[in-house]
Amino acid sequence: MPGLAHYMAQYDHEHSSGWNKLLHGLGIPMIFAGIFLLIFMKWIWGASFFVGGWVFLLLGHKIEGNHPAFFQGPIYLLVGPIWVAKEAWEFLTGTRHTSGSEGAPERTSQDSSHGAATKQS
């Protein structure tokens, strides 16, 4: 059985467009907020967030020109939120992981300049 790294790499491969990433970054949290609102608050708000989130996801895939990953299996319904959290973390911290780096963050220009400054000291 493939591990999480396999599913994450596959998910990342199918979500390379900046617009698709942005729409997933909005849509997946909206779906979770919709579920929460449906259970604990007003159903109309919950339904609106839930459906709106799915519209964002499907629009992102229309822009990218591929099918949603969950068509390959329901496991991707769990991988998607993990992938969005990873993307958000990398955006906020300014790091980016590459598939060939075995989990080591790719150095950004800011990291490189900091490393050069510490070597000169």
- Nearest in space to 90 (alpha carbons), one of 4, 8, 3: 8
Question: Please, which pLDDT band fits residue 69 given cuts at 50, 70 and 90?
Answer: confident
Kindly list the distances between the CA atom of residue 97 and the CA atoms of 8, 23, 25, 106, in Å, as whole numbers in the listed order: 12, 21, 17, 5
Segment 19-50, tens digit of pLDDT: 878 888 889 899 988 989 988 887 888 999 99
| Domain assignment of residue 56, given as a range | 4-120
Segment 100-119, tens digit of pLDDT: 444 444 444 444 444 444 44
Query: Cα torsion at 3, 57, 70, 31 (round to 10°)?
Result: 80
The C-alpha atoms of residue 37 and residue 91 are separated, in whole angstroms, by: 27
Please report which helix (H) or strand (E) contains residue 106, including its range.
strand 105-106
Q: How many CA atoms lie within 13 A of 34 on its CB side?
A: 16
Q: Give the total number of structural domains in the chain.
A: 1
